[in-house]
Structure 1
Amino acid sequence: MAWLALLEAWAVTKLLRSPGFNRAVHKAYRKINRLPPMDAENGGGRTGPSTLDHFKDELKGQFRDLTWQKRPPKQ
């Protein structure tokens, strides 16, 4: 009987972590609460620059500042 509970726990965990199940629950939630779908045409999803883009821009700016500083003369 314990193996049945273990199998059930494993199956529930796999189901809850699956992207398809989460999309279906999200879609049902939005439909029940009469919210517009999260599609790109409705303004959902990623519309601006990503975090990686911001990080690269910041590194470029810092590197540019470092390269334009005058270096001390060699002795």
Structure 2
Amino acid sequence: MVFQFLLLRNLEVWLTTRLLRSPVFHRMVGRVHQKVQHVRHGIPPEEMGGTRQDKNGPGLKQFFAYFKEEIRDQMKGNPPNKL
């Protein structure tokens, strides 16, 4: 009875070690992790073909509005820090 337990325990350790050393197992775990991250946080821009944004997107409009406001403030002599 004890011998069978030790034999099964050794087999379990050997199989676990072999599984954890397998590159196929690690690729599968990586893909599952990637899918979970995509479901949680969405697909990152790097994987959608780059970080290029539309030329007339909201970020560009906000930048120009902020830039114009800063130029106006500098011409009036207001302090630059607006925190």
Structure showing greater Rg: 2
Instruction: Give TM-score scaled by structure 2 length.
Output: 0.41
Name whichever structure is richer in helix by fraction: 2
| Higher RCO (C-alpha 8 Å, min separation 6) | 1
TM-score, length of structure 1 as denominator length: 0.45
